[in-house]
Structure 1
Amino acid sequence: MLDRSARLRQLPEVDQDLIRLVQDPRFSRWLEQLTATGGCAHPVHLTGSTTTRDGETGEILHHYDTAEEPGERLLVRCRNRRATVCAPCSRLHAGDTFHLVRAGLIGGKSLPAEVRERPRLFVTLTAPSFGPVHRVTANGERCRPRRNADPCEHGRSLSCPAVHDGPDTLVGQPLCPSCYDYPTHVLWHAYAGRLWKAFTDNLYNHLAARTGRTRSGLRRTVRISYAKVAEYQKRAAVHVHAVIRLDGAAGPDDPPPSWATAEVLAPLVRTAAATVRLRSPYSRAMGELELRWGTQLDVRPLRAFGDHEGLADDAVAAYVAKYVTKGAADTSAGLDHPVTGPDNINAAPLTTHVQTLMHTCWRLGGLPELEPLRLRAWAHTLGYRGHILTKSRVYSTTYAALRAERADHERGAPDLAEEPDAVTEAHWRYVGSGHSLGAALIAAGIAEDQVKNREIARMELAAAPGGAIGPG
């Protein structure tokens, strides 16, 4: 008969790993750690210690050392926002984003409830056209019907009589790739952050002109607060959804003057966006390009107390929270990781359109005059270098504050490090990340169980009087 070790070697590798984990004397503690991460798909492994002492007496108030942990390491969440990379951490990030955006709309998390009475708009700014692309149609409408349309200079037709639905792979693809302005598309992404800054600067200027004030005089009475999220369209161009709120000069605790209303702000958003103009650095390869926002602009008021017009606060917060978890695989616009060169781009499972945008980033990134834009480093995001979600300084709370609040809640006890006379010494070192095959299987089961438990809790909350549902 085969001995025990021989029998184990005959089992599939994942089964061997599961048996190894379960038979470990510290398996229960390891399972506690894994559960505490929510079944994180790529946990970070740390080793080290934390010691908290009384600052006056030197007495040790608390000491923790990973020497007593399984493998002498502690597992912590990877905190990746992308569902394609780590679904458990992305759900946590979505929940934090929901509360961050929602607090800026209705108060809470250190913001006064009065912010809900402020002038607030939900604005969508888009990229300009870089060339005609196939588009989604409805009610039998054809994509680009043109009778007797002359072909482009490359001999391709610029008309399309087809009816495209959302999943159609042609949607967003150029009618003529040779006519499509790939360099401007890439540079527009690289300057998207500056375009937003120019827009908010313009908005102050247009508010001042509308009310007969100087810019500095306006700044002493009004502050523009916002939270914005970037989203890739089917044509792989970023557009921006933003919540814009008018506060008094001191921020959320300060009401704006009576003349500052959503009705005054809405048309100024349109004129401020329309007049933004930026110039790219001069290049011998393509000259100097003018960059601006697209003509498609949507401005909607947000629903306030007793007001049935406009968008609901929770719906906007939930929409933003849902989008921040999307990875490149969800949007078909780039990759979740940097590329190392043209061969890496060619091997990626992407459309020809997106690959061409990435190749354009790589080519333009080699020009000395465009080196500060770091286009090669951001080729995987098609030149866009901003965070998916950004906010003005006083719009709402922060991710760090939300995480600290959650940690305090999970700890269930006051943090000794916050004691006035406490001194904390921490020594931590990164020693790895990820899971073995068996651990990955167990982590996936924990994550699935937590999703089910969360869904049950949300259904019970929704069924309760006055219940509401937000991201888990």
Structure 2
Amino acid sequence: MSASAVHDHEPLDLMSHRLRSPDYKAWRAQVHAVGGCAQPVHLTGYSRVLDRDGEILIERSGPIMGPCGNRREAVCPACSDRYAADAFHLLRAGLAGDATKNVPATVTVHPRAFVTLTAPSFGAVHSRRLSPRGFVVPCPCGEHHHADDPRPGTALDPERYDYTAAVLWQAHAGKLFDRFTTALRRALAQHLGVPVREFRDHVRLSYAKVAEYQRRGLVHFHMVVRVDGPDGPADPCPFGLDNDALRAALLHAVTTATLTVNRPDDTPLGLRFGTQVDVRPVTRSAARAVEDPDTGAITDTALAGYIAKYATKGTGATDGADRPIRDGEHIALLNVTPHHRAMIETAWELGGLDRYDELNLRRWAHMLGFRGHFLTKSRRYSTTFTSMRAERRTWRLREDLAQLGRDTRTPGDPGPLVPDLDTITVINHWEPVHFGHHNHAERELAIAIAERNREQRQQQRNIMSTTDTRSAA
């Protein structure tokens, strides 16, 4: 047998070995506990739950696995699903209201809008567009690009494409967005006829945004905007501000938000958002059926799901790397298009210049220079990821204590005696000893577990949806 044949059979041998190993059931249980995480953190140590007298109620010891928590679907599908679910509930709470997250349902009558901000052009790129009849429109290069063609979004003429400006725009996109929100507040203040410095005494602007990469390697922002009274979501919006006024203020802010930086040769470079701006009204889910976001108005529930899915995406399989680049020589080995390789190389080169030290571009070269968070929100928009994760830990602790009560009660007891959470102490002492699975076979098995969990959740949602439809009928 040739060396290549042996190499091809190695993953199957490893998988067979893992499935036949004596500790497989224990390993599988740990993988199930972390939802099928593709790169878990192996921990050693202990966790104890003590009552008010110091008696140990629950004790666990390592080794155990912890989820990696990576939001990118390409890195870990299981943790990506969890992140997307949290993002959905965070976004929907700010749109439709959720009493458990301190957002009243009355926010549905506040002015709300869904905005998409794009990047400007830095040079002509290959494109793939469809005509109203569904036919592929010829690209400026003269070809008809098929759906799997990697060229759409890449530069038609790499020599004339302004990669330096593209990377600098990307690196300053977060600061440009801040300029945009400032311009939006000024426009709304002008509409109300109040000084800008008194804007917060009359209005509070709440928003959440998600960054998504376009095929040309530049981010655009999907943004949900809500206008509240000065005290936040429970406070009615001031008289005179409606959806039309919000739309006009948004369009004005896009055209006025600018930022000037210097190129490496000290010539000024003006940065702004692209001319393609999409502003759509947001309706209540109960007001109309869920619609495709490309048809105009969109319901709050559909919008939350539409935006949340982008929070788990990176640059894509052909647009960038999933992990930071440690050595510039590795850029030539990346499985990316020449266009995106040029963006990475430009970010790496600019990162070596003293004038751009504060941008830390080499750290973010794998993200094509984008340095911002993929999901951000204003303080009063809705709840936080930290709060939702704390609620999840508290729920699990209650379940563990309830199980403890069920296990310790004697026959004839009316029910389990569950200790009050205010009277217990939780001690966690864990140390990481290994990151990721030990081989590709374990990782593939974990991903299969995660996929099965996803299918089961989808089946449950389908059953619940069918039940709700029959009930409504």
TM over 0.5: yes
- Once the two structures are TM-superposed, the CA of residue 323 in structure 1 deviates from its matched residue by 1.6
Structure 1: 5+ residue stretches without partners: 1-8, 67-71, 145-158
State the aligned residue count.
432
- Once the two structures are TM-superposed, the CA of residue 414 in structure 1 deviates from its matched residue by 7.7
CA distance in 2, matches of 1:311, 1:104: 15
2:192 to 205, 211, 215: 211
* 1:218/1:124 CA distance change after superposition, 3 Å: same
Structure 2: 5+ residue stretches without partners: 1-9, 290-295, 402-417
Q: TM-score scaled to structure 1, two decimals?
A: 0.85
- Pairing 1:173-252 to 2, within 5 Å after superposition: 173-252=154-233
* 1:63/1:343 CA distance change after superposition, 3 Å: same
Deviates more, 1:264-273 or 1:42-51: 42-51
| Counterpart contact for 1:128–1:292, Cα < 8 Å | yes
2:55 to 37, 57, 60: 60
| Counterpart contact for 2:51–2:57, Cα < 8 Å | no
* Cα shift readout 1:367-390 (whole Å, capped 9, x = no counterpart): 111111001110000110111111
**Runs of 4+ residues deviating >6 angstroms:** 414-418
* 1:391/1:464 CA distance change after superposition, 3 Å: same
CA distance in 1, matches of 2:165, 2:331: 20
* Cα shift readout 1:191-232 (whole Å, capped 9, x = no counterpart): 111111110011111111122110122211111111111111
Give % identity.
Answer: 39
Partner of 1:124: 116
- Once the two structures are TM-superposed, the CA of residue 16 in structure 1 deviates from its matched residue by 2.7
Partner of 1:285: 265
* Cα shift readout 1:236-270 (whole Å, capped 9, x = no counterpart): 11111100011111111112112121111101101
- Once the two structures are TM-superposed, the CA of residue 53 in structure 1 deviates from its matched residue by 3.7
* Cα shift readout 1:5-41 (whole Å, capped 9, x = no counterpart): xxxx9x9333233322xx23xx544433221111111
1:98 to 88, 96, 117: 88
Partner of 1:154: none
- Once the two structures are TM-superposed, the CA of residue 419 in structure 1 deviates from its matched residue by 3.6
CA distance in 2, matches of 1:176, 1:412: 61
- Paired amino acid for 2:433: V
- Once the two structures are TM-superposed, the CA of residue 179 in structure 1 deviates from its matched residue by 1.0
CA distance in 1, matches of 2:390, 2:328: 42
Partner of 1:314: 301
Does 2:59 match 1:73?
Answer: no
| Counterpart contact for 1:83–1:90, Cα < 8 Å | yes
Partner of 1:460: 463
Partner of 1:295: 275
CA distance in 1, matches of 2:174, 2:348: 20
RMSD (CA atoms): 2.5
* 1:422/1:405 CA distance change after superposition, 3 Å: closer
1:444 to 439, 444, 447: 447
- Pairing 1:388-403 to 2, within 5 Å after superposition: 388-403=374-389
Partner of 2:411: none
* 1:93/1:385 CA distance change after superposition, 3 Å: same
* Cα shift readout 1:311-337 (whole Å, capped 9, x = no counterpart): 11122111112222223334x321111
| Counterpart contact for 1:279–1:291, Cα < 8 Å | yes
Partner of 1:153: none
Partner of 2:18: 17
1:363 to 324, 331, 349: 349
CA distance in 2, matches of 1:135, 1:417: 62
Deviates more, 1:389-398 or 1:119-128: 389-398
